[in-house]
Amino acid sequence: MSEEHLVPKSVYFAVFAALLALTALTTGVAFIDLGRLNAVVALTIAVVKAILVILFFMHVYYGQRFTWVVVGGGFFWLGVLILFTMSDVLSRGWLGFPGK
C-alpha cells in the first residue's frame, strides 16, 4: 500500500545544522546595509530554509509524484497571488487623483 522511507538521523541533523547556519546568516546580513537588497537577501534565505523544511521534515523529497504535484500546485497558486498583488501595488500610481 504505502511505502515508508526510513531517513537516517544524519540527514535530519545535517538539515538542522543547515537551518541553524542559515538563521545565523540571516542575523548577520541584518547588520549589513545592502540598501534595497536587504529584503531580497533576507527573503532568498527564508525561501531556502522553507524549501529545506518542506523537502525533508515534511517528507516531500521521498514522497510520491502526486505529492510533488500538490506541492508544486501550492507554489504555483502562491505565485499567482503574489503576481496579482504586485500588479495592484505597482499600478496604483497610474491613475490621477481628482482635483490635482
Decide if 68 is inside a domain: yes
Count of domains forming the chain = 2
Q: Classify residue 86: in a domain, yes or no.
A: yes
The pLDDT value recorded for residue 63 is: 87
Q: How many residues does the chain have?
A: 100
The reported pLDDT for the residue numbered 33 is 94
Judge whether 18 and 52 are in contact, CB under 8 Å. Answer: yes
The answer on 44 and 21 residing in a single domain is yes
State pTM to two decimals: 0.74
Q: With respect to residue 1, please indicate whether it lies within any of the assigned structural domains.
A: no
Indicate whether 75 and 51 sit together in one domain. Answer: no
b vs e for 68-83, b when ≥16 Cβ sit within 10 Å of the residue's Cβ?
eeeeeeeeeeeeeeee
Q: Is residue 97 part of a domain?
A: no
What is d(CA 84, CA 62) in angstroms, rounded to the nearest whole number? 33
Which residues of the chain have a pLDDT value below 70? 1-4, 95-97, 99-100
Domain membership of residue 17 as a residue range: 8-58
User: Residue 3 has what pLDDT?
Assistant: 63
**What confidence score (pLDDT) does residue 99 get?**
64
